[in-house]
Structure 1
Amino acid sequence: MPVSQWALETFGQRAPVIRQGIADALSTALDNAREAQAAARTDHTHPFGFTLMSRKFEALAETFEDMGGVRVVKPAGSPHELVLLGGKLLFPFRYARDRSVSVMSARIGEGRPSALVQALFHRFGPEPVMRQLTLHDVAPHAVPVAEALTDLPADTELVLIAYACNAHAGLLDAWWGEAELLDRTGSLRWHHCEPIPLPAAGQAGLTPLPATAFDQGAVPAPALNPRTGAARLVPPVAEPTPITRTSRAEAASGE
């Protein structure tokens, strides 16, 4: 089924498969994180958060490991491996725990972006709409990291995967696109952002985990698609509607 023009320009004819793969990978990571939370038998959500932190990167790598033109890289200073797919570096992050926060107001991370994140945006993010200070002026501590990223092709482009989720409701929304990092608080300016259709269970809403302690009663198992691997992906069934789009030409002219 057709996908957006941005997706086709970014990923070519594989765009439907890649979009479906991202949705499946996020669902798998959320499934694993919720299982860890249930097994921990605690009301505190640390098990969910710690598991999700690692599994979101690992699930993406597992999903696309058999696809041609894929390289899994581990940038200096990062504990996680990132997927470089056809020159596009996939970077997933949670922007909200519920739907009260708009993705257009998303911040990358809950605190100050790490030196690695700042360097990734500076080196591989879209051309800023407005002229900004150099990375050395804004974040001197990120400069050595940026220099270490020279192992990646100079024409690499950063593709963000923003999602909202929590331990009780599971995966709520997912988006992908391109954005520039505005400041040290992690604020973003989206150049393009559009929804990623989720598996049927995700769109309908997973069966919530009980709000009481996890040792009270049986925990329902979320009905998620367990498939991984690019060879088993299937095209999605709907075309997303972009939220906003700023072309590079418009960005350069300041319009």
Structure 2
Amino acid sequence: MSVSLSSWATEVFGKQAPAVRAGVGQALRNMQANAQAAQEQAESRTNHTYGSARWQGQFERVWEELKDLPGATPVKPFGFPFELMVVGNGLLYPFLYSKTTSDVRTARIPRESRLVKELFTFAPDPAEVQGAFDFEGFDESAQVVEPRGGLASVPRGTRLVLVPFACNASELLEAYWGIAALGAERRLVWETVPEALTLPDTVTSHGQHLRSFPKQATSSERELTNFDGGAEPTLTLSSRANVDQQRDVPPLTEAEPADDQTSEDDANH
């Protein structure tokens, strides 16, 4: 079934808009499945494993789904461990906005980090909230943020496309995309109506995934590798000659090491 696209999506992503929309939805489905699998394999009483795998997957799964699209370019922000995807004139930024079903129009950015500030240099300017004469203590230079790392090479005409999603360790609830400014207290001021993304039921795989645990050593096998395991060595004892004892010659406890006949220079010959 075809899904109609918003005019802003076609404007930002061009002909790739349908593929980007489908790819992002698929990426989030894969993210959730991978994170749940990691949590199950960890057999942990907390959801820390799920959370870590989900955070990693929200970027890496998007990269997997979109990297082969014509014009798709991964960019790595300064100090950030993952790559974000630029397709056409759109810079995609997925983030968790809720762990329950919630009104995305009231969503907030989880944390106003330096990365977030750099990303929002590609977003619309926020509405003015300061009074016309309320400038006391205002340092204009402190407000200037310049993109660093891979973001510095992103064309200035590029637009930040937010991908807020809601999920928890049990299920992926919903996902949206749209364009918004960063308002006061990390609130999003939407320029476009947040558009729901289609989340497929099936999971796709783009590589080798852990399907079974490596063979674990048995208790008997571990005994053979312990430092105090195995048979005791046989020691050969010999008495010193009377002449050595009379001359106070020190006993020889171990053989003198033989000169090494090889050196690093040998590798060059």
Residue in structure 2 matched with residue 216 of structure 1 by the alignment: none
SS in 2 for 1:3: coil
Distance in structure 2 (CA, Å) of the matches to 1:63 and 1:95? 22
Q: Which runs of 5+ in 1 are unaligned?
A: 202-223, 230-255
Distance in structure 2 (CA, Å) of the matches to 1:159 and 1:24? 17
Matched, 1:226 2:204: yes
Distance in structure 1 (CA, Å) of the matches to 2:139 and 2:72? 34
TM-score (norm 1): 0.70
- 1:139–1:94 CA distance, 2 compared to 1 (3 A): farther
- 1:17–1:141 CA distance, 2 compared to 1 (3 A): same
Residue in structure 2 matched with residue 194 of structure 1 by the alignment: 195
Query: Per-residue CA shift, 1:163-214, capped at 9, x if unaligned?
Result: 000001x21100000011113x421111111111111x3xxxxxxxxxxxxx
Query: Per-residue CA shift, 1:63-118, capped at 9, x if unaligned?
Result: 1111110110101121221001112110000100011x210111111xx3111101
Report deviation, 1:138. 8.2
Matched, 1:56 2:58: yes
Residue in structure 1 matched with residue 114 of structure 2 by the alignment: 115
Amino acid corresponding to residue 109 of structure 2 in structure 1: I
Residue in structure 2 matched with residue 43 of structure 1 by the alignment: 45
Distance in structure 2 (CA, Å) of the matches to 1:164 and 1:226? 20
Report deviation, 1:6. 2.4
Q: 2:164 aligns with which of 159, 162, 165?
A: 162
* 8 Å Cα contact 1:24/1:227 also seen in 2: no
Identical positions, percent: 39
Distance in structure 1 (CA, Å) of the matches to 2:88 and 2:128? 28
Q: Which has the larger radius of gyration?
A: 2
Report deviation, 1:152. 1.8
Amino acid corresponding to residue 27 of structure 1 in structure 2: R
Report deviation, 1:140. 4.1
* 8 Å Cα contact 1:116/1:142 also seen in 2: no
Residue in structure 2 matched with residue 178 of structure 1 by the alignment: 179
Higher normalized strand content (fraction of residues): 1
* 8 Å Cα contact 1:37/1:48 also seen in 2: yes
Residue in structure 2 matched with residue 249 of structure 1 by the alignment: none
- 1:67–1:44 CA distance, 2 compared to 1 (3 A): same
Distance in structure 2 (CA, Å) of the matches to 1:106 and 1:146? 24
Distance in structure 1 (CA, Å) of the matches to 2:71 and 2:30? 23
TM-score (norm 2): 0.67
Distance in structure 1 (CA, Å) of the matches to 2:86 and 2:139? 28
Q: Which has the higher contact order (CA 8 A, sep 6+)?
A: 1
How big is the alpha-carbon RMSD for the aligned residues of Structure 1 and Structure 2? 2.5
Q: Which runs of 5+ in 2 are unaligned?
A: 208-269
Aligned residues between the structures: 197
